[in-house]
Structure 1
Amino acid sequence: MNDGTVLLPWFVIRQDDNGNRYRVGRYATKAEAQKIADSLHDRGHKQLYSIEKLSQNGSGR
C-alpha cells in the first residue's frame, strides 16, 4: 500500500444474549480472524463469535 496505511478488513464480532453486537478486533486475514474467534468461543462463554469482512462502503457487513 502506497499511502502507509495497513488494511485490516476482517472483524471478529461478539454477539451477546440480548443480540447486541460488538467488534472485538480487526485482522489482516480471514484465517487470523477465524483463529481468534475460535479461541474466544473455546473459552466457554455463552456469547457468539463470528467474523465479517469490511465491505466496499466501509461497513462490517
Structure 2
Amino acid sequence: MNDGTVILPWLVIRQDDNGNRYRVGRYATKAEAQKMVDSLDGRGKEKLYWVERLSPNGGR
C-alpha cells in the first residue's frame, strides 16, 4: 500500500544535563538513526543520545 506518506518510525532522542528530553530527528531505518547518534555522541558534556522506535500506533 502506498498512500504517498513516508514512514519514519525511528527517533533519535537527546537528554540534556537537566534531564530534559528532546527529539532530534526521525529516520526510516534504525541504521540511519544510529549513525546520527554515533555522530552526536561525545559532543558537549552530559548529553545522552539514543534510538527509540515508535509503536505501530504512533506512540513510544
Q: 1:31 maps to which residue?
A: 31
TM-score, with length taken from structure 1: 0.87
Q: SS at the partner of 1:49?
A: strand
Cα distance, 1:58 vs. partner? Answer: 1.3
Q: 2:10 maps to which residue?
A: 10
CA–CA separation in structure 1 for the residues paired with 2:2 and 2:32: 23
Letter in 2 for 1:17: D
- Point out where structure 2 has 5 or more consecutive residues left out of the alignment: none
Q: Percent sequence identity over matched residues?
A: 76
CA–CA separation in structure 2 for the residues paired with 1:4 and 1:57: 18
What CA RMSD, in Å, does the superposition of the two structures yield over aligned residues?
1.2
- Point out where structure 1 has 5 or more consecutive residues left out of the alignment: none
TM-score, with length taken from structure 2: 0.88
Q: Please list every run of at least 4 consecutive aligned residues from structure 1 whose deviation after the TM superposition is greater than 6 angstroms.
A: none
CA–CA separation in structure 2 for the residues paired with 1:36 and 1:8: 14
Letter in 1 for 2:44: H
Aligned residues: 59
Q: SS at the partner of 1:37?
A: helix
